[in-house]
Chains A and B, each alone.
Chain A
Amino acid sequence: MNLNLSDEQRALQETAADFLAAHTNARKEADADAELWSRIVELGWAAVQVPEELDGLGLGPVELALLMEEMGRRLARTPFLANVVLAQTALLQAGTAEAQQRALAALAYGERTATLILGPGLDAEPAALTVKARRDVEGWVLAGDAPQVLDDGLLTHAYVAARIEEAPGVALFELAVDAAGLSRTPLEVWDLTRPQARWRFDEVRLTADARVDDPDRVLAGLARTRVLAALQVAAEQVGGAVQCLQLAVDYTKERVQFGKAVATFQAVKHRAAEMMVRMETARSTVRGVAARIVAVGVDDPELAAEVGAARILATEAYRYCAQEAIQLHGGVGFTWEYDPQMHFKRAQWASQWFGATSAWRETLAAHLLDAA
């Protein structure tokens, strides 16, 4: 297993870093988002993991993680997470070949932009799903509330995992956001770079072909989607931690107190060094696990444990780096004007979605302690 990046991967990372440094929208009004997203689609980033036979780039989790890391650094507000990391992955892992044919290229090249709806915080457990599906003569009827959906207003479609009422089971449905009976209410969230909305399904009627899952794969496929997405969010968390460290180091080198740059003081240095240790360890792990997925495949029985480790390290690293970035900025770190507050909010968001660290730790503990 090779953790070194290839020349192509390095070029992708550099392109992404340069582009996002010049086009970041975290502090702009939401009407700037559509333009950034269409530029990202033009750059082909949304096609990265789509197989070549479906006109995608046929790359994998390593390239996706490099992009997520760069987007995490700049807190880019785009549907990339919802559309690529979630919706595309769900189709790839749980969808029928026909649904993949129909939708993946559209999701890759901007004709469609979708989100994925599972349980709260993108919990894939069947018992956590809050939308129910009922058969009727023409197809399906969806009912229920999804209280917090990743929805930045640029969506055209959604993939909704719902519990089937009459028979035990789960199905994945595709619908357009203008479906009759669907209402979306934007939520006032703390992390303005990760918009959410409340979705209400009031007897939303769908045709039979709106069900896009392969029933044999849907449960395992959705669970795996969540695990694979958790790794990508870990990459995004690493990117945020990288930026927090950079901001803190740059600021403390400039800020003068007692006649010296505060970066000369050991108390300051040691905090920054601790940030670097945690960030680099999380980064190594995210890259390593992504490389492992390429080498071993997604059927790896250790997949959830490996991702769990990456996720725990990235969550703790980002929270620590965001918190210390505020501290090392002193008073201005507490202001709206400086960036650390944005990372502090994103870090908190990221710590709760896709499974909190306490839940990942319990998953690992069961794996390590309870096996026969």
Chain B
Amino acid sequence: MNEQEFRQQVADWMAAHLTGRFACLKHRGGPGDEEAYPSLRKEWEQELAAGGWVGLGWPKAHGGRDLPLALQLAFHEEYVRAGGPGRIGHIGETLLAPTLIALGTPELQRRFLPGIREGREYWAQGYSEPGAGSDLAAITTRCWQDEDGRWRLQGQKVWTSLAHESEWIFVVARSTPGSVGREGLSFLLVPLAQPGIEIHPIRQMTGEAEFNSVFFDGAVTEAGCIVGKPGEGWKVAMALLGFERGVSTLGQQMHFIHELQLVIDVARANGAGRDPAIRQRIADAWAGLQGLRYNGLRMLEEDTGSTKLRPEALIYKYAWSNWHRELGQLAMDVLGVAGDVRSDDDTVRRLQQVFFFSRADTIYAGTSEIQLNIIAERGLGMPRG
């Protein structure tokens, strides 16, 4: 099937299914809007799964479709173009699943991949801690094995997206007492519904609570719920982050196109589009978006079925997060004083979310400062200090 036919197939499916009770989900539920309709979005995940749209890049042996990168990107683009809601299952589908496929045992793959693919089980990511942000290796959450082999956990994770909506969490914890840094860590899979775990929402500057603190107080998981061997947790954790910069992030450009169009619509309607300085900034935003788009296209490797990205991928997170932050500021400047007022209007609400939530874009998943270090050290070969 060629790309055009595939795109048409996606568009047709979306038009036929993102209607009726799902219609209210259009353009909802992305970053900054994760609290919108969580249970309906889970049903939507199951709808997607039934349509064969989950696990597009997974190997066929694991129930995926093994589609080449270009078609995966085409799916993401058409999905967003149709107003597809933020994917509540993305941590499982795009982070944990590729990690299990690459590094998990057949038992783990059989046990967890079907729940992810069918939209039945949702996952949260337990990496950051109050004392381990950019310095992720400073993790102090401990884990140990009881005599029967079951793992127990003690400590606190933070900035955990969607923990309150998830069944499972993957946790990087220190299994070797007294170890420091990247040594002595293990990567565990832990059920969230248990007495040893408490989830506390973190109220963010938007007033909403998409993130949580997750407290482990003797929490338990089975002996086999570990990816890699005890002590290999850092390697597994880094492999997972490699997938984070994968193809799914390229699809977000369609969200950006949509958001910039909203800014343009407002500027045309309220007269801000006649202000010469605003005109220059809107033009810059559009040019910058072209830059992101062409960066993304250039990142795609020629060979198919791979989630590997070119070295240009190093610059991608830094570039899009800063672009998005600028767009948020531009949106509010275009709204003018009307931006002061909380609004239920779809356009205004979305632009206000971009303004506030984009402040997080340059912090999560590697701050801009960490990104620049990575670019300088891996991209330019400058020595570590």
Contacts and interface: CB of A to CB of B under 8 A. Distances in A.
Interface of A: 1-4, 245, 249, 252-253, 260-261, 263-266, 268-270, 272-274, 276-277, 280-282, 284-285, 287-289, 305-306, 308-310, 312-313, 358, 360-365, 368-370
A272 B290 contact: no
B228 to A, nearest CB: 31
A265 B385 contact: yes
A362 B291 contact: no
Q: Is the interface of A mostly helix, strand, loop or mixed?
A: helix
B273 A284 contact: no
Contact of B286 (A265, A310, A364, A370): A364
**Could you say which of B294, B371, B372, B379 has the most chain A C-beta atoms within 10 Å of its C-beta?**
B294
Nearest to A360: B283
A88 B298 CA distance: 29
Q: Is the interface of B mostly helix, strand, loop or mixed?
A: helix
Contact of B287 (A265, A266, A313): A313
B384 interface: yes
A284 B280 contact: no
B381 interface: yes
Contacts of B380: 245, 249, 269, 272-273, 276
Contacts of B300: 3
13 contacts: A1-B297, A261-B383, A270-B373, A273-B373, A273-B380, A280-B315, A289-B294, A312-B287, A358-B280, A361-B283, A365-B282, A368-B286, A369-B268
Interface residues of B, number: 41
Given A253-B381, A270-B373, A369-B264, 6 more contacts: A249-B382, A273-B373, A277-B375, A285-B295, A288-B297, A365-B283
A266 B385 contact: yes
B326 to A, nearest CB: 13
B208 interface: no
B312 A264 contact: no
B267 interface: yes
Nearest to B302: A4
Interface string B354-385: 00000000000000010111011101111111
A310 B287 CA distance: 7
Interface string B23-63: 00000000000000000000000000000000000000000
A365 B376 contact: no
Contacts of B375: 273, 276-277
Given A269-B382, A281-B315, A281-B319, A287 B298 contact: yes
Interface in B264-305: 264, 267-268, 273, 276, 279-280, 282-284, 286-288, 290-295, 297-298, 300, 302
Contacts of A365: 273, 279-280, 282-283
A370 B384 CA distance: 50
Given A281-B291, A284-B298, A364-B286, A272 B280 contact: no
**Could you say which of B283, B312, B315, B369 has the most chain A C-beta atoms within 10 Å of its C-beta?**
B283
B144 interface: no
Contacts of B293: 288
A243 to B, nearest CB: 14
Nearest to A279: B315
Nearest to B279: A365
A361 B376 contact: no
A264 B383 contact: yes
Contacts of B282: 364-365, 368-369
Nearest to B292: A281
Contacts of B318: 273, 277
A186 B268 CA distance: 48
Nearest to B377: A269
Interface string B232-275: 00000000000000000000000000000000100110000100
Contacts of B371: 273
Contacts of B369: 266, 270
A245 B297 CA distance: 23
Contact of A361 (B284, B379, B383): B284
A188 B182 CA distance: 61
Contacts of A287: 294, 298
Contact of B372 (A249, A261, A274, A281): A274
B283 A284 contact: no
B286 A309 contact: yes
A23 B280 CA distance: 41
B149 to A, nearest CB: 45
A154 to B, nearest CB: 35
B385 A284 contact: no
A364 B283 contact: yes
A318 to B, nearest CB: 14
Contacts of A358: 280
A162 to B, nearest CB: 32
Given A285-B290, A364-B283, A369-B279, A269 B298 contact: no
Given A269-B376, A358-B280, A284 B295 contact: yes
Nearest to B268: A369
Contacts of A4: 298, 302
A338 B70 CA distance: 44
A351 to B, nearest CB: 15
Contact of B288 (A261, A265, A313): A313
Contact of A266 (B276, B292, B373): B373
B313 to A, nearest CB: 10
A336 B385 CA distance: 31
Contacts of A268: 382
Nearest to A311: B287
A230 to B, nearest CB: 13
A277 B315 contact: yes
B277 to A, nearest CB: 10
A273 B319 contact: no
A10 to B, nearest CB: 12
B321 to A, nearest CB: 11
B377 A284 contact: no
B319 A362 contact: no
